[in-house]
Amino acid sequence: MPKLSVNDLAVEGRLVLVRVDYNVPLDGARITDDARIQATLPTLRLLKARGARLVLCAHLGRPKGKVDLRYTLRPVAEHLERLLDANVGFSPKTVGPVAAEMAARLAPGGVVLLENLRFQPGEESNDPEFSRQLASLADVYVDDAFGAAHRAHASTVGVPALVPQAAAGLLMERELEYLGRVLHGSERPFVVILGGAKIGDKLPLIAHLVPRADHLLIGGGMAYTFLKAQGKPIGGSLLQADFVAAAKELLHEFGGKFVLPTDHVLEDATVVQDIPEAAKALDIGPATRDAFARIIAGARMVFWNGPMGMFEKSPFDQGTLAVARAVAASTGLTVAGGGDSVAALHASGLADRLSHVSTGGGASLEFLSGDTLPGVAALTEK
Ligand code: ADP
Ligand code: MG
């Protein structure tokens, strides 16, 4: 990797500003899935063990540049304290004298988490003054927030430009390694499984991966735009009419690679091959699940994004679960990315059986669409 790694930094006794992705789902003040916090522990433990003084910064939700205590990171600091089994200070101000004082008082190995970056309007606008205030809390900078690397914000691109060294954290490196293998690897057969609601959001990804993939299995809401393009009946199923023409073009150029659902689960849980006019398909049917599983079983490399159906509601989670089981059973390189599909994987308890489950939803899709992520570009060259 051409970027500086956290492993390359001399950190003993120095203030290290670590950008982490703690944008976790909350039920009130209770964290319902702490996978993103867990994923940063290797970097934090490494820095603590080397005597760094850690200042952590992160965003949570969309408070739109104003203090909104529904999105305070305080519960995250408390949770992190339990996971690290060490004190974690919490600065109720993101920057300014309170934050600076807490940072200055850190002993080697000490940790403080700053309040939500997005309580400050300067974060999302990448304001130079806000970047300067954040950078003043750091001797060096480490980015472990892969999930925020597709955003050119103060904490992801403003700060790295103002510090002498900006390095990738261990999670960031792992994300770039595995997603890089999906993007450039030569393992074949290479199977891409795509689902989810909006084909429009994922067209750049499809266009970038389809030339290298051997099979593209399409499920979820986006499948109906493809079926429509084939002239198949889709009833009232999800359709993005604007993208029928693009779907047609893809099917024309790469038709043999696309595998579309042949049976469907309707709203009333019945299974059909042809969707009746008034009906809505909410999941892939059992024959499709089997066909997908057979193709996945023969793969040497798998990338999966997007649920196969409306998985939030039983029994429409069965298609997604069947794909999760098939991917988990694969002996090849298996990588998943995306917000909802990754949440479904964690809920299924199968996430550990994949080679890599990305912590970045939008970031993983942009990376695999061939885009350079601004947060990665901003890091110091090796
Ligand atoms: P990801 O976050 O994994 O990239 P998306 O955000 O693209 O996935 O899509 C997830 C959403 O797609 C879920 O809310 C799910 O209910 C919805 N969805 C999947 N299949 C269907 C379907 N057949 N009809 C309607 N919605 C669907
Ligand atoms: Mg989503």
The owner of tokens 């993103």 is 36
- HSE-CB for 154 with a 13 A CA cutoff: 28
DSSP state of 148: G
Indicate if ligand 1 lies below 6 Å from the C-beta of 309.
yes
Query: Annotated catalytic, 200?
Result: no
Written as tens digits, the pLDDT of the chain (382 aa) is 589 999 999 999 999 999 999 999 999 889 998 989 999 999 999 999 999 999 999 999 999 999 999 999 999 999 999 999 999 999 999 999 999 999 999 999 999 999 999 999 999 999 999 999 999 999 999 999 999 999 999 999 999 999 999 999 999 999 999 999 999 988 999 999 999 998 888 999 999 999 999 999 999 999 999 999 999 999 999 999 999 999 999 999 998 999 999 999 999 999 999 999 999 999 999 999 999 999 999 999 999 999 999 999 999 999 999 999 999 999 999 999 988 999 899 889 999 999 999 998 899 999 999 999 999 999 999 9
In one-letter notation, the amino acid at residue 6 is: V
Whether ligand 1 lies within 6 angstroms of the CB of 131 is answered as no
- Cα 238 to averaged position of ligand 1 atoms, centre (Å): 10
CB burial string 60-87: b at 16+ within 10 A, e below = beebeeeeeeebbbebbbebbbeebeee
- Dig out the tokens for 210 from the structure: 């389809």
Q: Is the CB of 319 under 6 A from ligand 1?
A: no
Please tell me whether residue 72 adopts helix, strand or coil conformation. coil
Centroid of ligand 1 to alpha carbon of 92 (angstroms): 36
> Residue ranges per domain, the chain?
6-173, 185-368
Q: Is ligand 1 within 6 A of the CB of residue 196?
A: yes
d(CA 130, CA 65): 12
Pocket test for ligand 1, best of 224, 234, 340 (most atoms within 8 A of CB): 340
The whole-angstrom separation of Cα 352 and Cα 94 is 34
Q: What is the DSSP string of 295-307?
A: HHHT-SEEEEES-
Spatial distance between the Cα atoms of 89 and 84, rounded to a whole number of angstroms: 12
User: Exactly one of 169, 221, 339, 375 is catalytic; which is it?
Assistant: 339
d(CA 106, CA 97) in angstroms, rounded, equals: 14
CA–CA dist 68, 102 (Å, integer):
22
Residue 115: its pLDDT value, please?
Answer: 98
The response to whether residue 305 sits with its C-beta less than 6 Å from ligand 1 reads yes
pLDDT (0 to 100) of residue 381: 96
Distance (angstroms) between ligand 2 centre and the Cα of 338 equals 6
339 is catalytic: yes
pLDDT of residue 1: 57
What is the reported pLDDT for 126? 98
Write down the pTM of the prediction: 0.93
Annotated catalytic residue 198: yes
Domain boundaries 6-173, CATH class:
alpha beta
List the catalytic residue out of 14, 93, 198, 212. Answer: 198
6-173 and 185-368, same CATH topology:
yes
Query: Residue of the nearest CA to atom 4 in ligand 1?
Result: 338
Write down the pLDDT at residue 92: 98
Nearest-angstrom CA–CA distance, 259 and 255: 9
Query: Which among 200, 208, 199, 224 has a CA at the least distance from the CA of 282?
Result: 224
Given a contact cutoff of 8 angstroms between Cβ atoms, the answer to whether 131 and 122 are in contact is yes
Residue 256: φ, ψ to 5°: -60, -20
317 lines ligand 1 (CB under 6 A): no
Whether 66 sits among the annotated catalytic residues: the reply is: no
Contacts of 314 (CB under 8 A, 6+ apart): none
Domain range 185-368, CATH class: alpha beta
Cβ of 366 below 6 Å from ligand 1: no
Q: Which residues pair with 283 in a beta bridge?
A: 265
Instruction: Please state, in angstroms and rounded to a whole number, the distance separating the CA atoms of residues 146 and 163.
Output: 19
**Element (H or E) spanning 322, and its range?**
helix 318-329
